[in-house]
Structure 1
Amino acid sequence: MAAVEWPWQYSFPPFFTIQPHNETRAKQIAAWRSLVLDYYRATKQSTLDVAEAQRSELFNNSSIKRKLPQEGIIMILEDLARTGNAEALDKQKRRWLVYWHTLDEWANILYSWAQNSGMTNTVCTFYELVEGDSTADEDFHGLDTEVLVKALQKLEGRGKAEVIMFDDNQGVKFF
């Protein structure tokens, strides 16, 4: 897991209070968007539970004793959803998937890897894709299976892959 590089705003107490002025708030949310995506990429995480988020180092800077309120976390997640970088997993918007690449970007990354590594017309297990030695240097190595499946479904919709179930394994055939 890579170290998280905190931006200067992370040590600035007002960053943890949603700003009332529209222009300032827009800049604040953009900074949060970048921070959340960088954090999730560095930590290889994909799921966020809003109730637990305030206890994470991402939204709680203990060194300045500040944490972002839940309303702020939800505001940022909704902004990420508008850019294709997050998706609510329930109607109450309590659990989210966070994508440091959009699903379309993940689909393109996976397909490029399959083409470049000669894996078209071959079946790969999900384990091989996210845990295999041949993908150790790839951005999708360690990717959450739920995100992987959603990206592969995008490829399926384009006719570039087929998700396959066999025994207790899941795999994909790239075309």
Structure 2
Amino acid sequence: MERQKEKPDEAVKEVKEVKEKPERELDGLRKELARLKELKRYRELKEIETKSEELVPETSTEGLPSEEIEARLNKIEDFLTSKMGEIDHKAYEQNAAQIEKELRELELEIVKERGAVTKEVSTYEMILNDYPWLEEKRYIFMYSLPNKKTDLKDYESWKQEWSKVLFDYARYAILHILYLRKTESEKPFSNFEDRKKALEEIAEELVNKEQAEWLSKSKEKLRVYWKSLDNWAEEIYEWAMEISPLEPILVFEIRESNKEFSKLPSEDIVKIFKMLEKEKRGKIIELDDGQISFKIKIE
């Protein structure tokens, strides 16, 4: 009886997730696009300040202009939006495959253009662009850890703000695992009065928000999920379809792909293979040396 009661709840949860998916993905891409625009503006200002005469790297022409990306996003959103101003889930369900493909393509275009824009901008400069208060004198108090017992409200607010900074730091630096001892020496975290304690508190906040997890009991290694395994699975699948749809994909090929997912922890790659296999998009093949590969299912 217990199990029978659980099933309807799981079904309701699954339906809710399906309904929220298009809104969540569109919102996520719009945020990424907004960041990209800000970053481009910041780089332009930086070039003016330094009077640099260097040309923009050729790779910047590979991505679509941010205005065209935004226009395509608007087109998808207009198609999905009902007269009531809400997402039309019926329209989404009927055209889910095509919409998902378009969203994935737009995400890749944003990544390409961001890669071109950030080529000569450091991780700290990108963080500073998002959080200008990091270098404002009036916010110097943010580098001191508030007293949890006497200033609980300030402590919670401090954790919230710094957890965003640490999350974006990992994302911009394309780091899946943060080694806190090394991170302590990186700006802006090197400015903390008590670097070790402050970073542990911030990292713990990410863990509590399920955006990260500790990989060691000593709390020195932190796995940060700045992109979900679902999204990584989609990217690896699309990449594998492009380079070798007929041959099994080996882990070392993922490592040598020079993509954002090339440095994913081995455990995560195994999880992704299992996810794709469960979705019947291919199968895991065990090799003689104990390693595994993934063979895409061709329809």
TM-score, normalized by the shorter chain, greater than 0.5: yes
The answer to whether the 8 Å contact 1:60/1:68 transfers is no
The answer to whether the 8 Å contact 1:17/1:69 transfers is no
Residue pairs, 1:1-175, within 5 angstroms: 2=118, 3-4=122-123, 5=126, 6=128, 7-11=131-135, 12-20=139-147, 21-61=151-191, 66-67=192-193, 69-114=195-240, 117=242, 122-132=247-257, 139-140=260-261, 142-146=262-266, 147-156=268-277, 158-166=279-287, 170-175=292-297
Corresponding residue pairs, total: 165
Percent identity at matched positions?
22
- Unaligned residue ranges in structure 1 (runs of 5+): none
Change (3 A) 1:121 1:35: farther
**Which structure would you say has the larger RCO, counting Cα contacts within 8 Å and 6 or more residues apart?**
1
The answer to whether the 8 Å contact 1:85/1:101 transfers is no
- For residue 249 of structure 2, what is the amino acid of its counterpart? C
Once the two structures are superposed, residues 62-119 of structure 1 have per-residue CA deviations (whole angstroms, 9 ceiling, x without a partner) of xxxx45532321222222223332221122322222222133332343345556x386
Aligned with 2:263: secondary structure?
A: coil
Change (3 A) 1:162 1:58: farther
Once the two structures are superposed, residues 125-159 of structure 1 have per-residue CA deviations (whole angstroms, 9 ceiling, x without a partner) of 22333433xxx5x542x333434344434444555
Tell me the distance in 2 between the aligned counterparts of 1:114 and 1:89: 28
* C-alpha RMSD of matched pairs (Å): 3.3
Change (3 A) 1:59 1:107: same
TM-score with structure 1 setting the length = 0.69
Tell me the distance in 1 between the aligned counterparts of 2:186 and 2:161: 18
Change (3 A) 1:31 1:49: same
Tell me the distance in 1 between the aligned counterparts of 2:288 and 2:213: 30
Once the two structures are superposed, residues 20-50 of structure 1 have per-residue CA deviations (whole angstroms, 9 ceiling, x without a partner) of 5444444433332332232222222222223
Tell me the distance in 1 between the aligned counterparts of 2:194 and 2:234: 34
- Structure with more strand by fraction: 1
The answer to whether the 8 Å contact 1:39/1:58 transfers is no
- For residue 127 of structure 1, what is the amino acid of its counterpart? F
Larger radius of gyration: 2
- Unaligned residue ranges in structure 2 (runs of 5+): 1-114
Tell me the distance in 1 between the aligned counterparts of 2:185 and 2:167: 18
- Structure with more helix by fraction: 2
Aligned with 1:48: secondary structure?
A: strand
Change (3 A) 1:15 1:105: farther
